[in-house]
Chains A and B, each alone.
Chain A
Amino acid sequence: MTDGAVVQPDIAGLRVRDLHKRYGDLEAVRGVSFEIHDGETYGLLGPNGAGKTTTISMVCGLLERDGGEVTLDGATIEVGAVAAKAGIGYVPQELAVYPDLSGRENLRFFGRLYDLTGKVLARRVDEVLALTGLTGRAGDRVATYSGGMQRRLNIGIGLLHHPRLLLLDEPTVGVDPQSRNAILESIAALGQAGMAILYTTHYMEEAQRLCHRVGIIDGGEIRAEGTPAELVARIGGQDEVRLTMTGNLEAAASEVAAVEGVERSGVRDDQLEILVADAHGMLPRLLEAAESAGGTVRGVNVAEPDLEAVFLHLTGRALRDAESAGRIE
């Protein structure tokens, strides 16, 4: 077993410095840096293809990095640093469980990889089963679980060994709203219990609800970082206007963007999302511009700015709009 860990005991928590990763001509991660302290939940918010999974893969030592540094409590995390990974709990985006084994067997297997044995392992397995609400189905094959139950087991495995740092890579993708809410509550409880958490998502609501600090990532770069309140404050007193409409939304967005006083304009599903300084004063002109492209406005909503608006402000694209770019994660 190799272990290239270099320990600097005076440095606590996770430190990520200037990470770089290139796939051929594509630079998937470009100089990503952030820190996470004990009890802090840090969110990487960005669309699919922004570089979230590549970043998290380098943070947990699954992927060789082309540049930069990752340390946990001063110990370098890299592919060969086997022992240093003991403090990390990793919850991948996919359901990384064995469907032909039972929930308990899955937990026991992964627990032993972290040197849990005997009574300690049995106790931790029971605790995680209770935490994830799977005690009653512990002996059943995972293949018979619902999607939400499998997702909860997927998260539970990452918690077995009481990690110092929990890495959650979009853990609610494909989960029904009820299970999603339960998962978010569990993660919030872990954060309150003092665990350091790195949480990647493209759901603005999750980042806003869970994370103490958020890094907005796009195109392999962190475009802005701070608490949700700090990030929202960056767009000052701007309002977000959402026009639900039919017709050519891209053309409508271009017309709207040309209106004086419009900060940003983007498309999300059947809505135009517009950042403006004074929504109420500008609304007639916005409606006129939107319909000048031939569409019809069916509804109007003026919202307080949120992280979605911040992303729009920073990138000129709505989060969902940016997802379709389809870059390497």
Chain B
Amino acid sequence: MRRRAWRVAADIAAKDLRQRIRDRSVLLLAVVAPFGLALVFSLLIGQPATFHARYAVADLDGGRLATAFRQDALDPIVAAGEAEVIDEPTETAARDAVGADVDAAFIIPQGFTQAIEAGQSTTLTIVASGSDTIAADMARAISQRFGDQVTTAQLSVATVAGLKGAPLDAATQSRVAATDAGSPPSISLEDVTATSRQLDLTTYFSASMAVLFLFLSAQVGLVSLFDERRRGTLARILAAPVGPWTVLAGKMLGAFVMSAIAMTVLGVGTSVLVGADWGPPLAVVPLVLAAILAALGISLLVASFASSAEVAAAAGSAVAITLAILGGTFTPTADGPGVLSALALLTPHGWFLRGLAEAHGAGTPLFYALPAVAVLATIGLVTGGLALRRARRLVSAR
């Protein structure tokens, strides 16, 4: 397209933007409504309450494995700010503390290390108060996990002994068991797998509402073609030295810019006002641009089958809402099980939310978000390409 045609397309886009700003539709549809809904959703569903437990430990053993339990099972949650641990000199003191200001107490019995090193059973006692079941459950989980690691260590010892072809001496067994039991957990609190990376609820609903209304606002710009035809302004534009594809380019450009502005306002607004964390701009910006492309492609395809502004708006809204539901806009389903998760990835909404979650990965966020960017851009190009085959009829005067 020549430079003049692009200049005219920009004029048409600027005129559309001015109209949308003046009739406040862009403000309502692309900013106020998604921001308000994101706020309502995140408030209704709520954030998990801040968890903090207070534990007591009565180490009656004082051995290597008792120390390992303290250092490797309890210290990390203390460091994460999730718990506070106090030492009690006796079992009685620990039991008394429970029910006062301690949620649960760990009683490490005398001979704990020796029993494990000897391959004998021993009991780690948990005394829990009835007032905070979460803290008690967490205490049980910590103990169970430590117990599992000890069991693993004991199995490792047995395996190593088999390979050597002779039993290990007691000192070596003890050293291996202690080392393995005290090794870093195999699953860290910071999730590292792709499928389980999650956005917090405020960010999730900010993003999901933004992408929902992105589709609705994108169609507004394209539906205006029908309004222009009905009003006669499209005929007037086409009677000027302006080609039909220039008009279409102007409409698309206007819708693109309007969507980009709205997403920017929403991104900044939800970050500042409700604390949403959209992720690093280097990954988020390509993701948003690709999502806009997908929204424009799908909206244009839907509009190309419509016969009037009313039909185009109704069909566009139906498609946008359906994709939003499937894509997990209203309930986080993208990382849910089975069918819901698969359906979410059939929609641009699902890919956008997934890409945003991936962008929170450590290292190179764009690398993690790249698959979602590619899928969204492909959706936009394919649907837009199909739509362009039919779009000429949209830009005819009669």
Contacts and interface: CB of A to CB of B under 8 A. Distances in A.
A63 B397 contact: yes
B240 A85 contact: yes
Name the residue in B18, B19, B236 with the highest tally of chain A Cβ atoms < 10 Å from its Cβ. Answer: B236
Given A1-B4, A96-B231, A113-B8, A90 B23 contact: no
Interface string B260-292: 000000000000000000000000000000000
Contact of A90 (B11, B18, B22, B239): B239
A321 interface: no
B164 interface: no
Contacts of B235: 57, 62, 90, 92, 96
B236 A110 contact: yes
Contact of B19 (A97, A98, A110): A98
A105 interface: yes
A39 B64 CA distance: 109
A60 B240 CA distance: 9
B232 A96 contact: yes
A82 interface: yes
Contacts of B238: 61-62
Interface in A86-105: 86, 88, 90, 92-98, 100-101, 105
Interface residues of B, number: 27
B27 interface: no
Interface string B228-269: 000111011111111101100000000000000000000000
A1 B1 CA distance: 6
Contacts, number: 83
B231 to A, nearest CB: 6
Nearest to B242: A113
Given A90-B239, A113-B240, A97 B2 contact: no
Interface string B1-35: 11011001001000100110011000000000000
B398 A57 contact: yes
Given A98-B19, A113-B8, A63 B398 contact: yes
A83 B23 contact: no
Interface of A: 1-2, 57, 60-63, 80, 82-86, 88, 90, 92-98, 100-101, 105, 109-110, 112-115, 157, 167
Given A90-B240, A113-B241, 14 more contacts: A1-B1, A1-B4, A1-B5, A57-B398, A61-B239, A62-B239, A90-B239, A92-B235, A92-B236, A95-B231, A96-B233, A113-B11, A115-B241, A167-B239
